[in-house]
Amino acid sequence: MSREQERVSKRVQELKPSGIRKFFELIIGRDDVISLGVGEPDFAVPWRIREEIIYALEKGITSYTSNFGLKELREAIAEYYRKFGVECSAESVLITTGVSEGVDIALRAILNEGEAVLVPEPCYVSYAPLSSLAGGEVVAIPTTPDFKLSYELIDEYAKETKPKAIVINYPNNPTGVSYSKKELEEIADAAIEHDMIVISDEIYAELSYTFKHISIASLNGMEERAIILNGFSKAFAMTGLRIGYAIAPADILEGMLKIHQYCMLCAPVTAQIGALEALRNGEDELEEMRAEYIRRRNFFVKRVGKVLDVKMPDGAFYAFPSIESTGLSSEEFAERLLFEKNVAVVPGNAFGECGEGYIRCAYAVSMEKLREAVDRIVEFVEEL
């Protein structure tokens, strides 16, 4: 055994490197590349939010907040979530350091060693590794070819594995798929039938185009078993400010707080003040960004749809075309597209095994860059 292996815990040694990170090492410092790889809004944080943060700094507001987060922000979030059908009070809200921390502490708060967690794939890259780090056994549910969960699909996997929880994400990264109320009711029925906790990552709730976003926590019987995770990174283009939140039943929220108080203490105070401004006055900027994403989505699907099979995304800012017709693997496709046409996309298998045969393209770049990238993708496929 090498020294490194001895010093690093078995759990960490066993983690697979992120497929996204591996790919991004290749484009660092390459200004000639148009990247549709990063899942990050290309907009600056709206000016009014930046101003509030600057004022807070000028006033010297730089201290810790309560472990739960600022009371006004928690109140504003409880009020805001009515928009997605959830009635809750500020006491049910915990401010986290991004949704990433929320995923981590939700899993750690509920999982005992060896308990199963259902992870529908393709999915955001952190769910499986953070479940494993929390001691859980990941049970992947492949959702290809329509990328949708149904009662039957969940039932099939839950019957055998008796899972403690399921992690869902809609609108979805990387597929862009979302759910109608009726489809969510099926997922809720399966969760109730198998007595599962539902961790619902709703970070793209505001970027819902096909359906009006409804939180699964608002459905009958879900209040006591749903952990909502959401944040400000995507809707308000606040990725680097690191503000997320969890809305959860009291016992689970208390468990999450116990971990949060030791590992984070609190989320950054100035960013919490910015988040409050986003909820109070950020609607106009949000609308503008949403309209622009819809424009880009429509353009992407129309143009790329001529050479690859691509579904119209319901939300978020990702498209997930199938590249099966090209005969290349996801990684071969992504590597050759990068080296031959200077366009970066992420191989679909970075989001789970069943993502093989697809690529993820983020349309969070300017229309000008998107046009150029799409032309190059079309040219690349036609030349194959």
Which residues make up the interface to ligand PLP (CB under 6 A)? 39, 98-100, 124, 169, 173, 201, 203, 231, 233, 239, 244
Closest separation in Å from C-beta 241 to ligand PLP: 9
Q: In whole angstroms, what separates CA 92 from the centre of its chain? A: 21
User: CA neighbours within 13 Å on the CB side: how many for 110?
Assistant: 28
Q: Which residue is nearest to ligand PLP (CB)?
A: 98
User: CA neighbours within 13 Å on the CB side: how many for 276?
Assistant: 20
Q: Indicate the DSSP class of residue 120.
A: E
Q: Would you say 136 or 231 has its CB closer to ligand PLP?
A: 231
Closest separation in Å from C-beta 240 to ligand PLP: 9
CA distances to 155, 157, 218, 233, 328 from 248, rounded to whole Å, are 24, 25, 12, 20, 43
Contact by Cβ (8 Å): 53, 78: no
Closest separation in Å from C-beta 203 to ligand PLP: 5
Q: Would you say 68 or 127 has its CB closer to ligand PLP?
A: 127
Q: What is the 3-state secondary structure (H, E, C) of 331-355?
A: HHHHHHHHHHHCEECEEHHHHCHHH
Q: Would you say 68 or 194 has its CB closer to ligand PLP?
A: 68
Listed residue (188, 118, 112, 184) closest to 148, CA to CA: 184
User: CA neighbours within 13 Å on the CB side: how many for 55?
Assistant: 10
Q: Would you say 176 or 328 has its CB closer to ligand PLP?
A: 176
Nearest-angstrom CA–CA distance, 3 and 384: 46
> What are 328's two structure tokens?
């290349």
Q: Would you say 169 or 218 has its CB closer to ligand PLP?
A: 169
Closest separation in Å from C-beta 18 to ligand PLP: 11
Closest separation in Å from C-beta 40 to ligand PLP: 7
Q: Would you say 68 or 236 has its CB closer to ligand PLP?
A: 236
Identify the residue whose tokens are 């910015």: 274
Contact by Cβ (8 Å): 342, 31: no
Q: Would you say 88 or 99 has its CB closer to ligand PLP?
A: 99
Q: Indicate the DSSP class of residue 18.
A: P
Nearest-angstrom CA–CA distance, 83 and 60: 34
Closest separation in Å from C-beta 188 to ligand PLP: 20
Closest separation in Å from C-beta 342 to ligand PLP: 23
Listed residue (101, 96, 99, 132) closest to 117, CA to CA: 132
Nearest-angstrom CA–CA distance, 178 and 180: 7
Q: Would you say 231 or 315 has its CB closer to ligand PLP?
A: 231
Closest separation in Å from C-beta 127 to ligand PLP: 9
Nearest-angstrom CA–CA distance, 241 and 331: 32
Q: Would you say 173 or 215 has its CB closer to ligand PLP?
A: 173
Closest separation in Å from C-beta 22 to ligand PLP: 16
